[in-house]
Amino acid sequence: MRKTKFCDGPIAHCEKNLLNKLGLRKMKPTMGKKLAISLEARFTSMASSELITTEVESENHLSSLIYEISNEVQEIMENMLKTITEINHNSAVIEEEIEKCKGSALERKRALDEDRDNFQKAAYAVLDMLNRE
């Protein structure tokens, strides 16, 4: 255990400082070195309990922050899931439209090919008639 140094002066002065810090001013500082050591231990114990309290408060604060962050992450993930669902839906709609357009384009191509074939037949027929004369 680490001992805290309260003063560099004579023992009586150190005892007085300890007594003042512990709120025991009425006691006389002539109680000896043994009392000073026990008071120092008590003070160190109090400092340790304050440190433990501070650690607990820090842990509580960290736990609170982690809880808040996890809630924010959960909200973000829910929003991302909604966005992904919307994107998938829109993608499906777009793919359907593309397929419809492909179908329409193929029908239009067939119609144009048929018209071209009819014009070619008509043109050959005209050329044939002109060559016979």
Q: What is the pLDDT of residues 21-68, one digit of tens each?
A: 555 555 444 444 555 566 566 666 666 666 666 777 778 888 888 888
Alpha-carbon span 127 to 129, nearest angstrom: 5
Task: Calculate what percentage of the chain has a pLDDT beyond 70.
Answer: 60
For CA atoms 26, 30, 31, 37, the dihedral sign is: positive
Whole-prediction pTM: 0.44
Weakest mean pLDDT among 2-16, 47-61, 114-128: 2-16
Mean pLDDT of the chain: 77
**pLDDT by residue (tens digit) across 87-104?**
999 999 999 999 999 999
Q: What residue type is 15 in one-letter code? A: E
pLDDT at 40: 65
Q: What is the pLDDT of residue 106?
A: 95
Domain extent listing, the chain? 11-132
Q: Does 94 or 10 have the greater pLDDT score?
A: 94
